[in-house]
Structure 1
Amino acid sequence: MNAQVGVALAHWGYIAPMLSPISSEAQYAQAVESLDSVLDAGGADESNPLAGLADLIGERISAWEHQHHPMPQTMPANEVLAFLMDQHGLRQCDLPEVGTQGVVSELLTGKRSINLRQARLLAARFGVGIELFV
């Protein structure tokens, strides 16, 4: 047996729940919490080994949200951000990677546009396509 497979098998009980399809709101909440933890641990950086795990968890979250929490297609970026923050129970201070609380406030009110760096970070954090923010 390959050494990597052996390590994966030894830890599969911990990993499998993060990779299995979401089938309830409770599992959805756990997936969002897992994604936040992975992103905080460096998964928002595409060169970090955790980026692949962040993508996989984000895809599961996105699939659940698409089916159970559909978002209107014509929503402005600041409203998309407000919607996602509400869905995830986040406040302005919970997005330090985007900017200060004042910057997030200006983004939410439309006084400031979401830039490409912020759009990438937000897309990764919420497991959605970057096109929602640009």
Structure 2
Amino acid sequence: MTTTLNKEEYIKLLSETVPRIIDTEIEHKRLLNEVDKLMDLGENLTDEQAEVLQLLVTLIEQYENKVYQMKAVTPLDILHELMSVRQLKQKDIVEIFGSKGITSEVINGKRSISKNQAKALGDFFHVSYALFL
């Protein structure tokens, strides 16, 4: 079902909210505040207000997807984090890898973690071994 908007009312709302592509955190917060104001109206939103709300939400989502993207975490990142949290040094996990050389290569990203090593790391840190694969 397509709704016919009152052009004058819609233009008035646009001039009040001034929606635009978001490129700063200040603009992001400003448009979030505008969304809050419209959301507070609940079911009393006019068709024009609902259209502006949808536009603002689209702009906010676009900005947040660009700015707040999560970085993919590697098995090595997980190992480093778990070691850091537990204040472990490379020497503390040599047993898992079998030698200082292999441990050094894994820690420095020159060698990937094998399936057997992943299982041993999972047991050692009490987490799923799948985190290391």
Whether the TM-score (by the shorter chain) exceeds 0.5 is no
Q: TM-score normalised to the size of structure 2?
A: 0.43
Higher relative contact order structure (alpha carbons within 8 Å, sequence separation ≥ 6): 1
Whichever of the two has the greater Rg, that structure is 2
